[in-house]
Structure 1
Amino acid sequence: MRHEHIETNSGLMIVLILLVISIGGLVEIVPLFYINETVEKVDGVRPYTPLEMRGRDIYVREGCYLCHSQQIRPFRDEWLRYGHYSLAAESQYDHPFQWGSKRTGPDLARVGGKYSNQWHVQHLKAPRSVVPQSIMPNYPWLLETELDYSDLASRMGALRATGVPYSLTQQEYDANVSRFGKVVADQLDISQAQDSLMKQAHEKDFDGIPGQITEMEALVAYLQVLGTMVDFTKYDEGYFTTFR
Structure 2
Amino acid sequence: MAELFHRKLERSTIGFVLAIVAAASVGGLVEIAPLFTIDETVEKAPDMRLYTPLELAGRNIYVREGCYACHSQMIRTLQDEVERYGPYSLAVESKYDHPMLWGSKRTGPDLARIGGKYSDFWHVAHLTNPREVVPDSNMPAYSWLARTALRVDDLPLHLKALRAAGVPYTDAMIENASIDAYDQATPESSTSSGVADRYGKETQVRVFDDVATEVTEMDALVAYLQVLGRLTDAPYKNTAAPQKPPGPVK
Offset of residue 30 of structure 1: 1.7
Offset of residue 38 of structure 1: 2.1
Aligned residue among 58, 61, 65 for 1:62: 65
CA RMSD of aligned residues (A): 1.4
The one-letter amino acid of 1:75's match is L
Aligned to 1:82: 85
Query: Could you list the runs of 5+ residues in structure 1 that have no partner in the other structure?
Result: 169-185
Aligned to 2:174: 190
Counterparts of 2:178 and 2:120 in 1: how far apart (Å)? Answer: 22
Aligned to 1:201: 185
Aligned residue among 38, 42, 45 for 1:35: 38
Offset of residue 59 of structure 1: 0.2
Query: Could you list the runs of 5+ residues in structure 2 that have no partner in the other structure?
Result: 188-205, 243-250
146-155 or 36-45, larger mean C-alpha shift: 36-45
* Paired residues for 1:121-140 under 5 Å: 121-140=124-143
Offset of residue 4 of structure 1: 0.8
Aligned residue among 150, 154, 160 for 2:153: 150
Offset of residue 150 of structure 1: 1.2
Superposed CA offset, 1:107-165 (max 9, x none) = 10010001110110010000011111111101011001000111111111111111111
The share of aligned pairs that are identical, in percent, is: 55
Counterparts of 1:41 and 1:217 in 2: how far apart (Å)? Answer: 31
Displaced runs of 4 or more, over 6 A: none
Superposed CA offset, 1:26-85 (max 9, x none) = 222221121112210024322200000000000000000011010000111001110000
The one-letter amino acid of 1:197's match is A
Superposed CA offset, 1:187-230 (max 9, x none) = xx101112211221112100111031000000000000001223
Aligned to 1:101: 104
Taking structure 1 as the reference length, the TM-score comes to: 0.86
Aligned residue among 228, 237, 244 for 1:226: 228
Aligned to 2:10: 7
Aligned to 1:21: 24
Taking structure 2 as the reference length, the TM-score comes to: 0.84
The one-letter amino acid of 1:193's match is A
Cα contact 2:49–2:232 (8 A) shared by 1: no
Higher helix share: 1
Counterparts of 1:233 and 1:30 in 2: how far apart (Å)? Answer: 29
SS in 1 for 2:142: coil
SS in 1 for 2:134: coil
Counterparts of 1:126 and 1:96 in 2: how far apart (Å)? Answer: 28
Counterparts of 2:23 and 2:237 in 1: how far apart (Å)? Answer: 43
63-72 or 27-36, larger mean C-alpha shift: 27-36
